[in-house]
Structure 1
């Protein structure tokens, strides 16, 4: 009897391990979930610095500033999931005599590993397209620089709130942009309407860090 009790106790941890392994492979109800998100980012090369007479200066960076979009998450099991996002990422400044912006569309594909009920980590790829830097300053200049589509890496840490519909993400992105063409419509009051293709200039550093709130529905 004692030997049987000892054997049962010795096998108990293995029983729990087998049970845990089985739980991770069990089908998940509602595998697919959708979300919308809003985030703020900082980093990257400074593209332009604006000085105002009656206010603070404003800079436009290649890693800033606002990221808005929607996503979809597919859950494989208790440990693994795949998140895809499509967002509009931009930094801009609008004044009485100036409209300046750096914008792009960002597509993310990130597999996540669930550490516990609250935290998950992921490393994936991000693909940026329709990247443009636009400068319009009254009659002085109206120009647009278009960039080639770029792929980069994204590392992400997610924290799940007690409310299952909300989670927040800390992310780091490594990416650079290469100029494709420059379109000059106006300069110093004169209409130009010229496009320069295959622009040979150094690449722009778009590396950034950001904080994003996701609402799941």
Structure 2
């Protein structure tokens, strides 16, 4: 008696594609939180929404839904003054969760949530240090390949309960590491 058996194997592909994401850029705007006056008569305004940022995270794509992806990231946002004799700075930790509608692979539109944690103004002895509480905000993005224009609607609350706008308009550059 001859027994014949065929083995069939199906290659199942994971429905989720996860990739490492790095993003950086600059943002401008928000309420003035400090004006620094220099010896030469110039001054510089520090605004709540301004600063350079660098974030790390992931980009998640779905095999069955080609026009949808999700990005999640956490990083550092930093701004300082041009003073030579002081290190006055505003630092915060931005956290972003952004779903995107992908148009023709290269264009993306995103609307998501953001939060800034550990928002701190360090006065370096020239002004008092201030801790702010970040609230939950909305972030919009229009991107093409690795560059995007961003707009963030976000508030900070001072230790005294004063609401400060950290709204910002920015430009970001991102790189997604292929997992092929």
Q: TM-score by structure 2 length?
A: 0.82
Which residue of 2 is the match for residue 192 of structure 1? none
- Bigger relative CO (Cα 8 Å, ≥ 6 apart): 2
Which residue of 2 is the match for residue 130 of structure 1? 118
- In 1: Cα distance, 2:85 partner to 2:106 partner: 47
Written as runs of structure 1 = structure 2, the 5 A alignment for 1:49-68 is 49-54=35-40, 56-68=42-54
- CA 1:148–1:101 in structure 2 vs 1: closer, same or farther (change >3 Å)? same
Cα drift, residue 28 of structure 1: 7.5
Cα drift, residue 172 of structure 1: 0.4
Which residue of 1 is the match for residue 174 of structure 2? 214
Cα drift, residue 91 of structure 1: 1.2
Between structure 1 and structure 2, the one with the greater Rg is 1
Q: CA contact under 8 A between 1:28 and 1:75: conserved in structure 2?
A: no
* Corresponding residue pairs, total: 163
Extract unaligned runs of 5+ from structure 1: 1-26, 161-166, 181-198
Which residue of 2 is the match for residue 101 of structure 1? 89
Extract unaligned runs of 5+ from structure 2: 1-12
Written as runs of structure 1 = structure 2, the 5 A alignment for 1:1-217 is 31-54=17-40, 56-76=42-62, 77-93=65-81, 95-137=83-125, 141=126, 143-160=128-145, 167-180=146-159, 199-200=160-161, 202-217=162-177
Q: CA contact under 8 A between 2:38 and 2:83: conserved in structure 1?
A: no
Which residue of 1 is the match for residue 9 of structure 2? none
Q: TM-score by structure 1 length?
A: 0.69
The structure with the largest helix share of the pair is 1
